[in-house]
């Protein structure tokens, strides 16, 4: 399985613990270092999801990507390449920022695929985070055009644990979508 945009390897570890031969991929050397420390028995590759992936055709039974795809502008090329490295009948599970949430927070033209930037708190340090926002059709159609069949769409709601940890934020995110999760199978 490919963990595309593995970050510090949390899901790579979970996939490995579930019995998968997982390969983590990330563009950040720092994230890959953390991932290797977390899951020393896994393989990790440094690559940019915005470029052709360094894997053979049909190399993976499944692809997972958690909150990494919105850093890539061209989703037609991205999903085309994910389809290339996924075997026919294989699956894709991914999450991204919800298009409505991005539009509601940032304004502008909902229908435009646009590069934007936000300042986030990263463990007490303010960092500028550039990403691309896009309308729902620009999320789903590239996936379908690449040959994936959409099986499930989930707009997760916050948990009780989230309410306990961040009660003021819970009130907002319990009424407005934050993330969009998709499960698809590669037609084959």
The DSSP result for 73-103, as a single string, is S-HHHHHHHHHHHEEEEEEEEEEEE-HHHHH
Considering the domain boundaries, does residue 21 fall inside one?
no
Considering the domain boundaries, does residue 34 fall inside one?
no
- Chain-centre distance for alpha carbon 39: 19
The confidence score (pLDDT) of residue 124 equals 82
How do the pLDDT tens digits run along the chain, 188 residues long? Answer: 999 999 999 999 999 999 999 999 999 999 999 999 999 999 999 999 999 999 999 999 999 999 999 999 999 999 999 999 999 999 999 999 999 999 988 999 999 999 999 998 877 889 899 999 999 999 999 999 999 999 999 999 999 999 999 998 898 889 989 999 999 999 98
CATH number of the domain that residue 77 is part of: 3.40.50.150
The confidence score (pLDDT) of residue 120 equals 86
The confidence score (pLDDT) of residue 162 equals 92
Considering the domain boundaries, does residue 100 fall inside one?
yes
Considering the domain boundaries, does residue 149 fall inside one?
yes
Considering the domain boundaries, does residue 42 fall inside one?
no
The confidence score (pLDDT) of residue 27 equals 97
Considering the domain boundaries, does residue 95 fall inside one?
yes
The confidence score (pLDDT) of residue 28 equals 95
Range of the domain at 60: 48-186
If one counts the domains in the chain, the total is 1
Considering the domain boundaries, does residue 20 fall inside one?
no
CA dist 165 to 93, 100, 158, 160, 186, Å? 27, 24, 11, 9, 38
Considering the domain boundaries, does residue 26 fall inside one?
no
The confidence score (pLDDT) of residue 121 equals 83
The confidence score (pLDDT) of residue 148 equals 98
């Amino acid at each position: 399985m490919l963990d595309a945009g593995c970050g510090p390897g949390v899901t790579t570890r979970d996939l490995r613990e579930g019995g998968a031969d997982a390969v983590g991929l990330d563009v950040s050397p720092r994230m890959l270092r953390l991932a290797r420390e977390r899951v020393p028995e896994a393989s990790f590759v440094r690559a940019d999801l915005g470029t052709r992936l360094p894997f053979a055709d049909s190399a993976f039974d499944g692809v997972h990507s958690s909150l990494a795809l919105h850093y890539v502008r061209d989703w037609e090329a991205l999903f085309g390449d994910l389809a290339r490295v996924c075997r026919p009948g294989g699956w894709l599970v991914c999450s991204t920022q919800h298009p409505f949430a991005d539009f509601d927070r940032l304004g502008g033209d909902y229908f435009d695929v646009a590069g934007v930037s936000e300042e986030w708190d990263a463990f007490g340090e303010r960092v500028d985070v550039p990403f691309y926002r896009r309308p729902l059709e620009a999320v789903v159609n590239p996936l379908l055009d690449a040959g994936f069949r959409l099986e499930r769409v989930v707009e997760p709601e916050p948990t009780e644990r989230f309410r306990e940890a961040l009660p003021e934020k819970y009130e907002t995110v319990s009424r407005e979508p934050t993330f969009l999760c998709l499960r698809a199978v590669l037609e084959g």
